[in-house]
Amino acid sequence: MASETSVAADTLPPSGERRRDFIYVATGAFAAAGAAAVVLPLVNQMNPSADVLALASIDLDLSAIQPGQAVKASWRGKPIFARHLTPAEIDAAKKVDVSTLRDPQTLDQRTKAGNEQWLITLGVCTHLGCVPLGAGEGEARGDFGGYFCPCHGSHYDTAARVRKGPAPKNLEVPEYKFNTPTAVTIG
Amino acid sequence: MSFPWAKHYEPKSEFTKFVDSRLPIPRFVYDALGAGYPAPKNLNYFYNFGFLAGVALMVQIITGIVLAMHYAANTAIAFDSVEHIMRDVNSGWMIRYMHAVGASFFFAVVYIHIFRGLYYGSYKPPREVLWMLGLVIFLLMMATAFMGYVLVWGQMSFWGATVITGLFSAIPVVGPAIQTWLLGGFSPDNATLNRFFSLHFLLPFVTLGVIVLHVWALHIPGSNNPTGVDVKGPQDTVPFHPYYTAKDFFGLGVYLTLFAVVVFFAPNMLGEVDNYIPANPLSTPALIVPEWYFWPFYAILRSFTVDFLFIPAKLLGVIGMFASILLLFFLPWLDTSPVRSNNYRPWSRILFWVFVVDVIILGVCGGKHAAEPWIIISQLASVYYFAHFLIILPIVSRIEKTLPLPNSIAEAVLAKYNKASSPGLAGSPGVQPAE
């Protein structure tokens, strides 16, 4: 009986497949699935851990910021710029022909209705993630009066839109809402 | 894998016979580094740099393991633990300076080693795999050096990590997710520092493994030589030991002298002062530059300032920087000239030196602010870098009229010897150098 079984398993039938081929494929597939099940957590362990992901929102009081001034705050490990635009800066931002911009956005799209004097963005250059200058007192604000990234020379205008340099996008506007006319919750 | 005339290991004592029949390490060393490994007799001092690179790696591994005994990979205390090494640990300052200066010296030695290979055509058949393994080692070194620099957790560490991981965010669609995955967060933080420490410890040993393959691949055809002519017979070679062991150790003495001078008298000469300021995520230094050995590639990265078609400038810069190294993998097939050594290629030799100057110009630009005139200079130099490999070299290697090659290494050596000594030895044509 044993020899008959081995003949059945090992002899090549006309179809070119042996019964043992199924065992090989099944074994290989089982091992591959097992390996994938181990690799997945090994790769995924490098993603942000639960404590890093725990979404933090921050409350920001804007009442002390005079027109023309800006403050820096920290949110999820990144800087936030909150800037009180002067009427001249708002005009300058609105005069720009949006179609000429690399990342076309109007000032209205980047601020909240009725609060267009408050420009709140991430302080992270969209090129390679440096903190642009221009939020601190006396820092260079670049050729367009907004922000200037010293790393690779990106210039942002008074709506924090990229106007010159290698940055591909405008400074990102985070999710936020006004609680009172001078207090916001970011995140 | 050696030449047929290589000497054979013969254990003499009972003890060496005992060892040889059980674990033949002495035989292995004899055949690889000893009298059993014949090497071209005309290798010059540029052929020391492979050995020196190996020494530099061992210095990094030994000092690095010692530093890891005192360093703490935690953002709250990493910077302070480095200062603790500098001030409190016995001889800690020396070990850290050896490690920091050693990285610079390692790259300097490897750059000379690479340019040696470029000049003498050591990447050409049959040494293509040897060349490509060397490039893998170079890439591993770059990754290791970058992650090691982050461990100090100074300002330049932090912002270097931000910029370099930011490169991956340029990849369309999946880029930001890859950057977050690499960092383990949304900006460099404790998770980043810990994994960089782990990988910085691992990669030197991976490098060591690839070096074993590199040396293995070297020992199949044997070393190239300044004439680029293949070894043809016993008269072309000398045993590796004692000839090249002695030559390598002399070079090592010179190297260690220079190394000691920098470690003891100018340890911060090659570093950035900003990295003595603790990392601050809310303040970017006015100028972010990597260490000098990355400057040429950093210049290429920054030379892309305008979008092309639908590809953003940021992605172009990243592609350009990686392409500048990956291009070297194809060099054996871009340079089709059958003559290896630039000593016999009049045009290619000039182009080699122009290329060296081009890389130095890129290096200077990479260390400067991203402003004019440095941007336009680095753009021109980047264009030339790619043109050298993709246009100029393939064309020149086809149309160049090369000089006559010597029939053998021995003939080239003797021609040089006779010319140098002919005034004093006129009339004695039968003079032979001592073998």
CA distance B122 to chain A (A): 37
The pLDDT assigned to B303 comes to 87
What the block records as the tokens of A82 is: 């909150």
pLDDT at B137 over 70: yes
Which residue from A minimizes the CA distance to B298? Answer: A152
pLDDT band of residue B424 (cuts 50, 70, 90) is very low
Rounded to a whole number of angstroms, the distance from the CA of A77 to the nearest CA of chain B is: 6
Residue A187 has pLDDT above 80, yes or no: no
Rounded percentage of chain B residues whose pLDDT exceeds 90: 78
Spatial distance between the Cα atoms of B23 and B270, rounded to a whole number of angstroms: 45
Chain A with chain B: Cβ pairs closer than 8 A: 90
Per-residue pLDDT of A84-139, as tens digits, reads: 988 888 888 888 888 888 888 888 888 888 888 889 999 888 887 788 888 888 88
Q: How far apart (Å, rounded) are the C-alpha atoms in residues B309 and B245?
A: 56
d(CA A47, CA B180): 7
Active site residues per annotation of A: 152
Quick one: pLDDT at residue A9?
53
Catalytic residue among B7, B219, B232, B368: B219
- % of chain A with per-residue pLDDT over 70: 93
Is the pLDDT score of B426 beyond 70? no
Question: If you write DSSP's letter for every residue of B20-45 in order, what string do you get?
Answer: HTT--HHHHHHHHHSTTSEEETT--G
Residues contacting residue B387 through CB under 8 Å, at least 6 positions apart: none
Residue type, A22: F
Q: What is the mean pLDDT of chain B?
A: 91
| Residue A118 and residue A107 in contact, taking contact as beta carbons nearer than 8 Å | no
pLDDT tens-digit profile of B58-68? 999 999 999 99
Q: What is the 3-class SS of B93-144, one letter each residue?
A: HHHHHHHHHHHHHHHHHHHHHHHHHHHCCCCCCCCHHHHHHHHHHHHHHHHH
> Which H/E stretch holds residue B60?
helix B49-68
**What average pLDDT does this structure show over B302-310?**
78
User: Are residues A130 and B284, on separate chains, in Cβ contact within 8 Å?
Assistant: yes
Say which residues have a Cβ less than 8 Å from residue B340's Cβ, sequence separation at least 6.
B120, B121, B122, B124, B224, B228, B229
CA dist list (Å): B325 to B15, B207, B318: 50, 17, 12
Residue B77 has pLDDT above 50, yes or no: yes
Nearest CA in chain A to B311: A168
Rounded distance between C-alpha atoms, residue A7 and residue A110, angstroms: 77
Is A129 within 8 Å of B288 when comparing Cβ atoms?
A: no
Q: Which residues of B touch A132 (CB under 8 A)?
A: 284
**Among residues B127, B104, B119, B105, which one has the least CA distance to residue B290?**
B104
Distances (CA, A) of B239 to B35, B254, B345, B371, B412: 5, 23, 29, 54, 19
A149 three-class SS: strand
- Taking the model in full, what pTM does it have? 0.85
Residue (of A173, A59, A169) closest to A120 by Cα position: A173
Q: Is a pLDDT exceeding 50 seen at residue B430?
A: no
pLDDT score of B79? 96
Is A66 a residue whose pLDDT tops 70? Answer: yes
What is d(CA B158, CA B149) in angstroms, rounded to the nearest whole number? 9
List of domains in chain B? 37-425 (1.20.810.10)
Q: Which of B361, B289, B287, B294 is nearest to B321 (CA)?
A: B294
B247 part of the active site: yes
The answer to whether residue A164 scores a pLDDT higher than 70 is yes
Which two three-digit tokens encode residue A149? 């990234």
pLDDT at B203 over 50: yes
Query: What is the DSSP-derived secondary structure letter of residue B403?
Result: P
Cβ–Cβ below 8 Å for A131 and B307: no
Per-residue pLDDT at A54 exceeds 80: no
pLDDT at position A93 is 85
CB contact under 8 A, B281 and A74: yes
Beta bridge partners of A78: A75
pLDDT exceeds cutoff 70 at B245: yes
Q: B308: exposed, middle or buried (C-beta count within 10 Å: 0-12, 13-18, 19+)?
A: exposed
Tell me: pLDDT of A184 over 60. Answer: yes
Segment B134-155 shows an average pLDDT of 96
The model's pLDDT over B174-200, given as tens digits with 9 standing for 90+, comes to: 988 999 899 998 889 899 999 999 999
Q: Which residue has the tokens 């890859």?
A: B178
| Angstrom distance (rounded) from CA B342 to CA B115 | 12
CB B231 within 8 A of CB B222: yes
B98 pLDDT exceeds 80? yes
Task: Check residue B425 and give its pLDDT.
Answer: 44
User: What's the CA gap between A151 and B70, in Å, rounded?
Assistant: 33
Rounded to the nearest angstrom, the minimum Cα separation between A158 and chain B is: 20
* HEC per residue, B338-360: CCCCHHHCHHHHHHHHHHHHHHH
CB spacing of A166 vs B314 below 8 angstroms: yes
Structure confidence by residue, pLDDT tens digits, A13-29: 777 778 888 999 999 99
Per-residue pLDDT tens for B349-405? 999 999 999 999 999 999 887 777 888 999 999 999 999 999 999 999 999 999 999
Res A11: pLDDT: 66
- B92 and B70 in contact (C-beta within 8 Å)? yes
**CA B223/CA B213 separation, integer angstroms:** 15
- B223 assigned to active site: yes
Whether pLDDT at A3 is above 60: no
